Amino acid sequence: MNQYLDASRMMYSALELASHAWNRFVWTRRATRGGIDDLLRSDVTARADIEFTTRCNLACVYCVSRLPSYSGSDLDSAYLEGIVQSLKPRGVLTIGVSGHGETTMMRDWHLHCNELLDNQFDLYLSTNLSRELSDEEVDTLSRFQLIQVSTDTSDAGLFKELRRGGDFRTLLYNMNRIRGRAVRSRARVPVFWWHCVVSDRTVWKLEEHVGVGLSAGVKLFNFINLAKHPDMECDEVNLITDMPRDQLERLPEHFHRVFDLIRSNGGDYICDSLLERLEEKLSDPISPEPRNIERHFSLQQPGTTRDCIDPWSYAKVMSSGAVVPCCRTTCSVGLLSDGRQLHELLNDAPMREFRRSLLTGALHKDCLTCNIRRWTSIDKLRFKVAMFLRFNKYLRLFHRSGLLLPLVQKLRHRPL
């Protein structure tokens, strides 16, 4: 299990558990009371993402890359050496080498990944695996820790219709070659994670899809709700919450069968936000369904903020060279093209102000509409940040030794 859950998720869970366990103690209140200047700096990065490209070889029916105004770009490879030198002393556990694009479209992408791997970084990738890979590319991917594959259905015809330019058979072929290369090399086999956008066209085929994935060695499934961009026509698929009432009422039982199938075969899944919206719709059938990319959330209440430590524990470099504080925002805290190094930008004034906004509740607009992190009290977030800054070295040690996930699981009394 600890091989395919990324480090930041485990670290976040451990901090959350500690927050609940120690919330009432005196030293906790001391950590959250008074000034916050000591909480504005972070010299540790648990996880980083490097967006190699925003170009893609597919034209999925719901993707913003189909917009006429969309233009893809590649990261300047000259930045990579500086990024590596910045991340090494920050103790980064895992690095993602993807973003809003298909990494394998970038020239020599595998050579750049080999450099990161040779520097002892654990790598993960989000990819569509929809073109036949070369032997050299397969060699590189066989060294990865985790590979997230975008695939909504195992119905070959429907797959081609929704993910235009793709072929499900090519996807499986590439997966088998990568696993086979790792086995032949007697190396750790990468864990495959299937990322599934759930729509009215795919939802009733999920059991079949999961069965195919499990038989192919997939260990983790992520089911997310379809989101339609407000400026793009997409009539091929619809949200499951737009389905007729009689079908909506059958969905909870259907999802539980899917989840039972996964668990009974030693797998795991993520499906929180999709089920939340389904439950909301069933309890309030007249509530409007959000049509755009900003999922509906309740308004911020006084004394609250987002339950998010990403600006302290995470870093992302966009293909443009812009550095952003989380995976949800495009708000840049600096540009590598200005001659600045990544480690400098991660504690420069714009990043410190972004952290301050979370610690005070005076949130950035992207935090207000975030569809990932829940609301929490300002005091609880301050405590969680203080915990991360004080004890991250111990959390990293637990992760490296393989003990962090079992500890989190034992305290939660259920698999993550």
DSSP string, 346-382: TTSHHHHHHHHHHHHS---HHHHT-SSSPEEEHHHHH
- Residue 187 falls in which region: left (phi positive, over 0), alpha (psi -120 to 50) or beta: beta
- Ranked by mean pLDDT, which of 30-44, 192-206, 330-344 comes out on top? 192-206
pTM of the complete model beyond 0.95: no
pLDDT at 233: 77
Give the Cα separation of 249 and 243 in Å (integer). Answer: 10
| Chain centre to alpha carbon of residue 247 | 30
- The CA-based angle 144-145-149, given to 5 degrees, is 80
Residue 33 has pLDDT above 80, yes or no: no
With 0-12 CB in 10 A as exposed, 13-18 as middle and 19+ as buried, what is 306?
buried
pLDDT at 286: 58
Give the Cα separation of 282 and 390 in Å (integer). Answer: 43
The angle that helices 7-22 and 404-412 make with each other, rounded to 10 degrees, is 50
Stretch among 89-93, 104-108, 139-143, 379-383 having the lowest mean pLDDT: 89-93
Residue 407 has pLDDT above 70, yes or no: no
Give the Cα separation of 292 and 314 in Å (integer). Answer: 26
- Ranked by mean pLDDT, which of 17-21, 48-52, 277-281 comes out on top? 48-52
The percentage of residues in the chain with a pLDDT greater than 70, rounded to a whole number, is: 82
Residue 133 has pLDDT above 70, yes or no: yes
Residue 115 has pLDDT above 70, yes or no: yes
Rg (alpha carbons) of the chain, rounded to whole number: 21
Residue 251 has pLDDT above 80, yes or no: yes
Q: What is the mean pLDDT of the chain?
A: 85
388 pLDDT band, cuts 50/70/90, is confident
Q: What is the mean pLDDT of residues 280-299?
A: 59
Look up residue 114 and give its two tokens. Answer: 């080999």
